[in-house]
Amino acid sequence: MLLDQKRTRRMVQIVAVLTSIAFGGVILVVMGLIFFGGGGQTQADILLDEAKSRVEAEPRSADAWEQLASAYAGTEEFDQAIEAAQRSVELEPNNFRRLQTLVSLQVRQNDTAGAITVLQEYTTRNPRNGEAFLQLGQLAEEAGRTPLARLSYQAFLRLEPDDPNADLIQQRLDDL
């Protein structure tokens, strides 16, 4: 019996020492994180900081605002990304690439109605951009706005009759 008590006491001491060592290791890791940081910024955070700095330095640059929109999208801050993309479009309202950035962000946020409105405004200002009418038709079709989809596809085919997708779009138009 005395031997079992000694053995038990020795086991308790060993467990206590091992627990102390493990707890000490956890404390060292926590202290290291506190004093030396938790691994730094992610690449997306770095790109966002750079984009914010660029917008501060060049507030009238559509490129800077589009870069900020992309950076916000990279950090999944889509409301801010949409605001930055809208500012980019405001600075260059006839630049279709900038508009596509805004539309894709709106669609990603399930704001198809907003994306359709943006494309309608663009096609009013730029009635010769067949690609814009094609995208408007596709969004309108997905949203169940058949008359708008039909008109948009017709405008695309009138503007881009030799486009490689013209036959496919004609078939979609026939199916509406």
The contacts of residue 163 (CB under 8 Å, 6+ apart) are: 130, 156, 169
Task: Tell me what pLDDT residue 35 has.
Answer: 53
- Give which of 153, 134, 91, 85 is closest to 114, Cα–Cα: 85
Alpha carbon distance 53, 66 (integer Å): 13
Please tell me the total count of domains within the chain.
2
Alpha carbon distance 132, 151 (integer Å): 12
Task: Tell me what pLDDT residue 52 has.
Answer: 87
Task: Tell me what pLDDT residue 21 has.
Answer: 58
Task: Tell me what pLDDT residue 33 has.
Answer: 47
Examine the domain organization and report whether 24 and 70 are in the same domain: no
Examine the domain organization and report whether 86 and 141 are in the same domain: yes
Examine the domain organization and report whether 83 and 110 are in the same domain: yes
Residue 12 confidence (pLDDT) above 60? no
Examine the domain organization and report whether 11 and 65 are in the same domain: no
Residue 79: which CATH number? 1.25.40.10
Alpha carbon distance 161, 145 (integer Å): 23
Examine the domain organization and report whether 6 and 67 are in the same domain: no
Task: Tell me what pLDDT residue 45 has.
Answer: 79
Examine the domain organization and report whether 57 and 101 are in the same domain: yes
Residue 36 pLDDT level (bands cut at 50, 70, 90) = low
Q: What is the domain range of residue 7?
A: 1-40
Examine the domain organization and report whether 13 and 52 are in the same domain: no
Q: What is the mean pLDDT of the chain?
A: 82
Residue 17 confidence (pLDDT) above 70? no
